[in-house]
Each structure stands twice: as C-alpha cells, then as structure tokens.
Amino acid sequence: MCGICGWIDFDRDLRSPDARRELAHMTATMAYRGPDDEGTWIDGPAALGHRRLAVIDLEGGRQPMTLQEDGRPALVLVYGGETYNYRELRQRLVALGHRFDTSSDTEVVLHAHREWGCRDPCTAVGELNGMFAYALWDTAKRELLLVRDRLGIKPLYYYPTQHGVLFGSEPKAILANGLAERIMDADGLRRTLSFVADPHNTVFRGMREVRPGHIVRVTCDGIQQMTYWQLTDSGHTDDVPTTVRRVRELLEDTVQRQLIADVPLGTLLSGGLDSSALTALAARFSDERIRSFAVDFAGYTENFIPGPWHPTPDGPYVHEVAKSVGTDHTDITLSAHELMDPNVRAATLHARDLPLTMGDFDSSLYLLVQAIGQHSTVVLSGEAADELFGGYLWFHDPAHVQRNTFPWIEDRGDIVWRSLDHGLVEKLDLPGYLDEQYRWALSEVPTLTGPASTDPQERRMREVCYLFLTRYLPRLLDRKDRMSMALGLEVRVPYCDHRLVEYVFGTPWAHKTFDGREKSLLRAATADLLPQSVVQRVKSAFPGIQDAAYDRMLRTRFTALLNDRNAAVAPLLSVDRSRALLNATDNLRRVERILTLQDFLTDYNVSLTI
C-alpha cells in the first residue's frame, strides 16, 4: 500500500530545479501513506512521486517502477494497493515471454499493460483483481493513465491544469503544488452538507476524483474518461441453495487471496455477522494464528442503552467469536477524553483532507488503527457486506425504500441545514442538489431482466442496492482508507471483491431475504463457521460512544464557535437557528459537521466563494 502523486505539463520541462522542488513537496505529503520508502521519476513533461508501505516483496517492490525497452524506460508506474491475482497473471505473462526482475505485484501490473493494454488499457485493467489506484506514463505516446479500482477502495484525485494535470492519492498532494487553488464554491459546500458520494465534486473547486471502475487518459490533446467496469444485470438463474454455495465459494477464494502478505496480518472484529465470518475464514485458511481487534468504550457495555441501530453491545459477541475460532484477540478501549482530544481531531481532519466528517466514528477508528499498528500491518475488514447483502434497516423499511430520494436521507442533512443562514439555504438549494444527484444515479441502474423484472418490488430493490453500492459505500471506504493509511495500516475489504459484488448484485431481492431477515445469503453461507448467537444476532451498527461527557464537550465547543463572529463559518450560520439546534439534545452529534467545516476552512486556508 502506498501514496502516489505526480504532475504532467506538456508545455514545460519538469526537470528544472523549481519543478523538482514542487514534486518533492507533493511526494512528502504522502509520507504517512508510505513510511518505508520514497522515490521520484522525472523526464520532460512527466514527474511522478511515490511513498511506499512495503507489504509484498519488501526488497524488490521499489517505485516508481519502469519497464525497459531498448535500454530506455517505455512505461513508468506509480502504484498503490494490491493485485490479489498477481501470481496467476505472472504465470500467464511468463508463458507469453515476459521476464520479471522482482516478485512484486507492481511489476505484474506493468507487464500486464504492455501485453494487454497497448490497444485498449481497459483490457489490461480488467485482468486485475484487487484494490488499487495508479498512474502509468507511456514515454513513447506521451500519455498518462490514471486508474482506480472497481469499487473505489483506494482514492485517486486529479486537477486539470492549462497544459496538463496534477494528481495524487489525496487532495493534500495536489494542493502542495502552487498551480492548485484552495477554493470551495457553492458546489463544494453542497457536497459537504450532503451525505452522498459525488465523484464529480471533491469540495475543492477544479479538483475531481477518478471514478471507481474508470480510467482517466491525459494527453496533449486533453483529458478523456473511460469506463472499464460497471455493475450490470447478470440474468441470475441460480436457485437459493446454489446461490448460497456460490457465495461461500467466492468468499473462501477471496479471503485466501487477501491473506497473502509478507507482514503481520489481523482482522477487525465487531461480533457482527460480516466481520465474524471474515475472521472465521481467515483463521481457517491462515498458516498462522490470526490476530483480531475490536473497539470498545469505557463503561460502554455496563451502561449500554439499546436503540434501533445498536440493539446489543458488541463486546460479548466479539469475545465469543474470538474464543470459538481461536484468534489472538485484543480489545482497544477508548474514552470520551481521547475522542475529543484536539490533537486527535486535527489528525483525523488531516487524514480526511475534506470536511466530510463522521464525528466520533472517525476519531474512534483513528485511535483503533493507531493501536492495531503496534501489532499488525494488514487487517481484513467487513465494509460492503451491508450494502451488498442488504443489512441496513433502510433496506427493510418500506417507507424508506419507496421514498423518492436516497433511502438513507432523512433529517441528517436537514438538521444541519437548519443551522445555516436562510439566504444561504435558498441559494444552495440543497434539496434540488440531492434530487439532481438521485436522478443521475437512477439513470445508471442496469435494467432488470428475467422473471423478476415484472415485480415492482424487485425493480425498486435493484435501484436501492445500486444506490447503496455507488453513492453510500464510497464514503465508508474513503473513511476507512484515510484513517488507516494515516497511520500506515493497510485495510483489505474482501466483500468488495468484484466477482462477489457482481454475483450478489445480480441475485433477486427475494433470494437476499429468503429467510425473512437481513443478509440471508451471507448468514446461510457462513452459519457453520460461527456460534449460533452470532448467526442469530440482529444487525448492530459500528458503535458510537454513549457518554454524556462527550456531548458536554461538543456543546461547549459549538457554543464557543457561535460566540466567535470572526469564525470562518460565521458568514454561513444563523446564530439563532444554530442555538435552537444546539438545544435539541437528539441532534447534538450532528453539529460536529459544522465544527469540522470550521477547522477545515482555517487549517487548510480555504477561500469560500459562495
């Protein structure tokens, strides 16, 4: 796992001292994503930077990596992520006459592009199974390819310039170059205040994400986007027992592939179905005893208050799974004081780069990762299982399913909007922005075919599943990547294996709920691995701290912000409306988004142009 960055300028020779310094600054911002090594490559219009977290082939995988032809670099690659099928691809490429100097997956990606990507880069990328974001420079064609994995597990941003492009794993790499402006306009504020992934809107004006499943091609003639993967209708015909068996087969193969590492490996364990199944499979297939890690909060289990999203505490289930499958388990217990530590909150914002906070969920994940890093370099995590198998309550509430918007949009945005100046609310037209995003997403949904296509519920649930996979999941993947890579920990997400996603997305909703519950297919596919208490446990979300001290600290900080008329966010807020929000206890946690926006504008020296 690594951090990448670079600069293409077709009107300039980037070997100049000034340009080298700019690249050095950009590369330095990625140091925590790659604490083990650093490298740059510059020639004419191309400058590439790389920071490495060594996981596979610790000695041979240094980057930027070149593929030499006639004694000169033909292709130059900076790569972040993992290609899980690199061993099979390597064997195929060797049979075709390719010779390798290392045992790294990076070199396999280079040769894959030379063998299969000469005419169409989508063909080469389509051969890869993994999580990745990389940049490939073709010295003869004077062409840059920016490539991102199918689900968007690994981030990749780019910033078009007058004569080329800047790119980086995170916005901070791009912002380190003097050509990039730190400006948030109305669209950026709309993205900040809406809980929807929008790859065309990265908050910073002019900056974009490479969309999941896409390639961005940069030449002297301009910038072109290409799609190499998208969700499609599979015309699923397998019955339920066959589908369950196939899900198990795919999970076993995926977990075995993702256990490959030359460094210590563990799992994140919550005691829920998703993480418990991964932990049990990892323990079954690993040659060494698996480490497992869980987050807890001081006094959480003893003072637990059940609710719709957290019906049961995680602790008892975590310990039962750890004992059942025999992991080397560690609980990481956090306090309200740690979560509100200004240094921790600053670190999470720096890791995020964007004001898209999830409050104490970000802080607790950051601290959890920090503790795990003392034991492991790689962990498996259960992201995407809920979106893929239908785990959230929203999937099973007809009122949410049938709403003419994203099923998860309720008062989450509306509550924060109420703190804004009335004139700003009208100007931003946030309901209109969300509706535009919703219509755009629906236009992408593959048409349902086969017998299920005549069922209105099946058609709607196809839409709902697509919305969660493409507009909800990316925010969770981004959060997990940023918090983990900020501390040099690689998180792998087996439920994002594209073969599993393609197969399960294509199954009818009736299959996914065949036993009358959430995540029916996953439960049936893994029930034999787990204690019955975990198999029967009702979905419980990632835990948030239940501590009045945390709420008191939030209230104190937000009150101070409202009293500071020189605050960066002051022009955006209605003090009276904000105080009313502050007095509504149930909504208190939502104000963290305003606090984070304030920190973002000041810490990143961002100019608002609304």
Contact 142, 14 (CB under 8 A): no
Q: Rounded to an integer, what distance in angstroms lies between the CA atom of residue 18 and that of residue 178?
A: 11
Beta strands in 424-528 (DSSP E): 490-492
Whole-number Cα distances in Å, 224 to 210, 220, 543 = 11, 11, 42
Q: Look-up: residue for tokens 């959480």?
A: 300
Q: pTM value? A: 0.95
Is the pLDDT confidence value at 497 over 70? yes
**φ/ψ bin of 71: left (φ > 0), alpha (ψ from -120 to 50), beta (otherwise):** left
Is the pLDDT confidence value at 59 over 80? no
Considering Cα of 9, then 15, then 19, then 21, what sign does the dihedral take? positive
Q: Rounded to an integer, what distance in angstroms lies between the CA atom of residue 126 and that of residue 499?
A: 12
| Res 350: pLDDT | 92
**φ/ψ bin of 213: left (φ > 0), alpha (ψ from -120 to 50), beta (otherwise):** left
| Res 417: pLDDT | 84
Render 265-293 in DSSP notation, one character per residue. EEEE--SSHHHHHHHHHHHHH-SSPPEEE
State the chain's mean pLDDT as an integer. 92
Q: Rounded to an integer, what distance in angstroms lies between the CA atom of residue 460 and that of residue 107?
A: 43
Contact 512, 389 (CB under 8 A): yes
| Res 414: pLDDT | 63
| Res 583: pLDDT | 74
Terminal Cα distance for the chain, rounded: 37
Q: Rounded to an integer, what distance in angstroms lies between the CA atom of residue 22 and that of residue 26?
A: 6
Is the pLDDT confidence value at 451 over 80? no
What does the pLDDT look like over 3-15, one tens digit per residue? 999 999 999 999 9
Helix (H, G, I), strand (E, B) or coil at 404: coil
Q: Rounded to an integer, what distance in angstroms lies between the CA atom of residue 368 and that of residue 383?
A: 16
| Res 340: pLDDT | 85
**Annotated catalytic sites, by residue?**
2
What does the pLDDT look like over 549-594, one tens digit per residue? 888 888 899 899 999 999 999 999 998 888 877 776 556 777 788 8
Q: Rounded to an integer, what distance in angstroms lies between the CA atom of residue 537 and that of residue 608?
A: 47
| Comparison of pLDDT for 174 and 359, the residue scoring more | 174
Helices (H) then strands (E): counts for the chain: 26, 19
Q: Which run of H or E residues covers position 110?
A: helix 105-116
Beta strands in 314-447 (DSSP E): 328-334, 378-380
Record the tokens describing residue 443, joined without a space: 């236009």
